[in-house]
Structure 1
Amino acid sequence: METRKSYFFVGVGGSGMMPLAMILAGRGDQVAGSDRALDSGALPAKFADLTAKSVALFPQDGSGISSADQIVVASAAVEATVPDIVAAEAVGAARLSRAELLSQLFNAGVLPIGVAGTSGKSTVTGMIGWILHACGRDPTVMNGAVMKNFVAPQAPFASALVGQGEAFVSEVDESDGSIALYHPKIAVLNNVSLDHKSLEELRALFGTFAGRAVTTVVNVGDAESAALAMSLPRDRLVTFAIDASADLRAENLLPEPFAIGFDLVKGGERHKVRLSVPGRHNVSNALAALGAVRAAGVPLAEAITAIAGFVGLKRRFELVGEAGGVAVIDDFGHNPDKIAATLETLHAFPGRLLVLFQPHGYGPLKVMRRELVAMFAERLAAGDVLVLPDPVYQGGTVNREVTSADIVAEIAATGAQAAHIADRAGAAAHLVALARPGDRIVVMGARDDTLSLLAGDMLGQLS
């Protein structure tokens, strides 16, 4: 895409909007934006970083949109009554959704690498980006999370990387159906499970996405993904799995509290791999990333060396700190599969879990109700404690048919220790009061960057 366009982001501080704004600014476009969090004084460091990257910030009152030459970018969650949208209509500014703009940039790339799946997208994207960077390929990377490998004093919120190489690596979102806009040359499909849409819808979306690629890297250890793989030509397919037949297979997993090792088997070859991130799910993520970079031309031995240096993402099983013998972990887990993976990783080592899970919306809570209850009932160990505050609410009209109290009541009926404490600060204080040496406090949820601040506050209270 040609540079020197003028973009205005409504909600520029969002986890999906901020890296896109940073990529455009890094390419030389004129970028401005507004955000409710900016107006409320929340997360000042994030907006200071945007300002440092030449992104002009305005109140969300319409004052930043004054020309028909501006392209106004807003997510589907932004209501038509927001003053910026009203101003865009008044001046005749063009409108794009975040996904429309990102897909335009992605599809225009020489080597677009798209990472899809219900869980693990951000981590796989970060792994691919780090391997390509470490191997001198200078990629552009669009991520929904801060990649700790790229964090620096001048880049404290490194959820994007602007490179000069051929690869444009991006996670792609199925939750709003926008995955249909992307045309990858290399597609990664990590898994398919219930989150925002029905399985029937997800099968169609992921199937179309995978079918467009020159090479599709698929997790055949996941039943839904394996079924989808059967519809693809074998010569366009790279499969991976843990302890199962695949092109890339992981065996002999050796878990550590905050790392994991395994044997990578490819045909008659066997390689030792060690990750600096923990859990069986990250072994699967690593296989996906290794498959993708091999398809991009990186020799396997180089990729294995590089991935050992990947140190993870913010809010993905991130150890915030330890005080009084209690560890505090900040995690993005928000659907049944993600939460189950984190709980499984933690339960591999001794210590009670005190879990604060903030649902990321009333709509997802309704869709995932049965699966969430079943997962917590199965995965919470004796002695573990679960607390749910009310879901994220960021304004507008919303159907509150299913609440946190409903979920807790059904979980508690299975015999697990679960409580609904509507106020998030109260929920956090409750767990801090319960904590004793050897416990692990886990803060979980999505769509709310202030959860990291909450985890930090809890660590401070423990101190």
Structure 2
Amino acid sequence: MAPGLPTAMDRPHFIGIGGAGMSGIAKILAQRGAKVAGSDAKDSATAEALRALGVTVHLGHAAAHLADDASCVVVSSAIREDNPELRRAAELGIPAVHRSDALAALMDGLRPIAVAGTHGKTTTTSMLAVALTELGREPSYAIGGDLDAPGSNALHGAGEIFVAEADESDRSFHTYAPEVAIILNVELDHHANYASMEEIHESFETFVGRIVPGGTLVISADHEGARELTRRLDGSVRTVTYGESADADVKVLSVVPQGLKSEVTVELDGAPLTFTVSVPGRHYAHNAVAALAAGVALGVPAAELAPALAAYTGVKRRLQLKGEAAGVQVIDSYAHHPTEMTADLEAMRSAAGDARILVVFQPHLFSRTRELGKEMGQALTLADASLVLDIYPAREDPIPGVTSELIIEAARAAGADVTAVHDAAEIPGAVAGMAKPGDLVLTMGAGDVTDLGPRILDRLSN
């Protein structure tokens, strides 16, 4: 058994093993020598990648899938209490372990960097993982999205650094004890779990309190929610701020667009440092600066880390180019919160020049649409035209009166060209009827809207 593998997880069973967070933990445990099994509602490339590591992946959820000798069942907050495998585990006396506790156990004994914030976690975690790998540091990492191939969201590395995405949505990031924590921004989201900004700030304060003695907090100096959090801290944790604000410790002097890249210059320890970020947009440049500050806090020389950050060329679903057909590029965006939508659309506008931007947007969660539908509609004014699908429910039940019309009405009131499409099967034909050579098509949202990219390309080709 590899060092650092908790005995209680030597034969884990994952319920929902194909999910972004769950599959990463399963992969690391398998690479450390655990006998891993699990189930998922449907087959996927991620499941197939796990099978290649020797993981047993069952399709569907059934009590019979759980082996009697499983050491634990690993669950996420999305798993309901009536899940047959979870109920069977209770009957057998097999303990249930939340995925955050499993991840925290994997980080034990290493030097963790935990990346938190309402937006940008996956990108920033990925930037650090790629750059540290480029430098030969052999980090372990757990990311909420694939870097390239299915199953590339996690790795058990031989080095001492563990980079992990820290999820605030269900307060599970309170489990971690990082040596360095990054907080990119602080906004109200996840309305089913947080009723106010006060609750959000209290949750992030608890996360900061988990930083180990002598550790470092890297936090935005520009984002008001982050600045408010910094004001609320008692000063017991070493804090490094970054951004364009005059009082930032790592000051961003300039972000110069260069096509689908940016040249970023920062002032670090009183001296300028210029490096390339290989993805477009000011917000991605700021993510890279946060990654730089965190790596330096852990002892990685800035002169080495800065150029290594250019090795990051994107992660799946974060402005990922899906292909080109008939002179039209199709790009996929995971953005589902108004701030993310605005940032990605501004990045594309900056890179696109005079090209038209056409958006296929799928709202994610009824609760988020109820609270932020107006702001989503306003974000769509940055597109030349948008098609809006019905709400992707994910883990939620419908809320009476909450539909995509809330977004459409707000978008039209703000002057946007928006059309409702209730059947996703109609999207490829609708886009083909709108798009012209030179246009950019953005499929946007956290649901299965991502599946439409290849279908749109096929229709454009024909």
> What's the TM-score once normalised by structure 1's chain length?
0.91
Distance in 1 of aligned mates of 2:237 and 2:46: 44
Offset of 1:244 from its aligned partner? Answer: 3.7
| 1:253–1:263 contact (8 Å) kept in structure 2 | yes
Structure 2 counterpart of 1:360: 364
Distance in 2 of aligned mates of 1:393 and 1:324: 33
Structure 1, unaligned stretches of length 5 or more?
Answer: none
Are the structure 2 counterparts of residues 367 and 70 from structure 1 closer, same or farther at C-alpha, using a change threshold of 3 Å?
Answer: farther
Are the structure 2 counterparts of residues 319 and 50 from structure 1 closer, same or farther at C-alpha, using a change threshold of 3 Å?
Answer: same
Query: What CA deviation, in whole Å up to 9, does each residue of 1:14-59 have, x standing for no partner?
Result: 1111111101111111111111122xxxx3x322211101110123
Give the aligned length: 445
Match of 2:156 among 162, 171, 176: 162
Structure 2 counterpart of 1:269: 271
Offset of 1:344 from its aligned partner? Answer: 0.5
Offset of 1:162 from its aligned partner? Answer: 0.9
Structure 2, unaligned stretches of length 5 or more?
Answer: none
Matched residue type, 2:14: F
Are the structure 2 counterparts of residues 243 and 256 from structure 1 closer, same or farther at C-alpha, using a change threshold of 3 Å?
Answer: farther
Match of 2:451 among 442, 450, 453: 453
Matched residue type, 1:347: R
| 1:72–1:93 contact (8 Å) kept in structure 2 | yes
Matched residue type, 2:199: E
Q: 1:174 and 2:168 equivalent?
A: yes
Structure 2 counterpart of 1:299: 301
Match of 2:251 among 249, 252, 260: 249
Distance in 2 of aligned mates of 1:355 and 1:365: 17
Structure 2 counterpart of 1:369: 373
| 1:356–1:443 contact (8 Å) kept in structure 2 | yes
| 2:182–2:217 contact (8 Å) kept in structure 1 | yes
SS at match of 2:407: helix
Structure 1 counterpart of 2:71: 70
| 1:193–1:337 contact (8 Å) kept in structure 2 | no
Match of 1:25 among 20, 26, 30: 30
Q: 1:120 and 2:108 equivalent?
A: no
Are the structure 2 counterparts of residues 5 and 267 from structure 1 closer, same or farther at C-alpha, using a change threshold of 3 Å?
Answer: closer
Distance in 1 of aligned mates of 2:457 and 2:339: 26
Structure 2 counterpart of 1:439: 439
SS at match of 1:96: strand
SS at match of 1:157: coil
Structure 2 counterpart of 1:351: 355
Distance in 1 of aligned mates of 2:128 and 2:14: 27
Are the structure 2 counterparts of residues 416 and 451 from structure 1 closer, same or farther at C-alpha, using a change threshold of 3 Å?
Answer: closer
Offset of 1:64 from its aligned partner? Answer: 1.5
Structure 1 counterpart of 2:143: 143
| 1:352–1:440 contact (8 Å) kept in structure 2 | yes
Are the structure 2 counterparts of residues 394 and 248 from structure 1 closer, same or farther at C-alpha, using a change threshold of 3 Å?
Answer: closer
| 1:221–1:244 contact (8 Å) kept in structure 2 | no
Q: 1:421 and 2:421 equivalent?
A: yes
Distance in 2 of aligned mates of 1:401 and 1:440: 33
Distance in 1 of aligned mates of 2:37 and 2:270: 53
Q: 1:35 and 2:40 equivalent?
A: yes
Q: 1:46 and 2:40 equivalent?
A: no
Distance in 1 of aligned mates of 2:389 and 2:290: 34
Matched residue type, 2:225: E
Query: What CA deviation, in whole Å up to 9, does each residue of 1:332-370 have, x standing for no partner?
Result: 111111111111111122211111111222122223223
| 1:142–1:160 contact (8 Å) kept in structure 2 | yes
Alignment of 1:375-394 (within 5 A): 375-376=379-380, 379-381=381-383, 384-394=384-394
Matched residue type, 1:223: E
| 1:79–1:396 contact (8 Å) kept in structure 2 | no
Offset of 1:7 from its aligned partner? Answer: 0.8
Are the structure 2 counterparts of residues 141 and 94 from structure 1 closer, same or farther at C-alpha, using a change threshold of 3 Å?
Answer: same
Distance in 1 of aligned mates of 2:101 and 2:367: 23
Alignment of 1:40-119 (within 5 A): 43=44, 45-59=45-59, 60-67=61-68, 69-106=70-107, 108-119=108-119
SS at match of 1:341: helix
Match of 1:278 among 277, 280, 287: 280
Q: Using the aligned pairs only, state the percent identity.
A: 36
Matched residue type, 2:296: R
Offset of 1:274 from its aligned partner? Answer: 0.8
Runs of 4+ deviating beyond 6 Å: none
> What's the TM-score once normalised by structure 2's chain length?
0.91
SS at match of 1:297: coil
Are the structure 2 counterparts of residues 253 and 69 from structure 1 closer, same or farther at C-alpha, using a change threshold of 3 Å?
Answer: closer
Matched residue type, 2:159: G
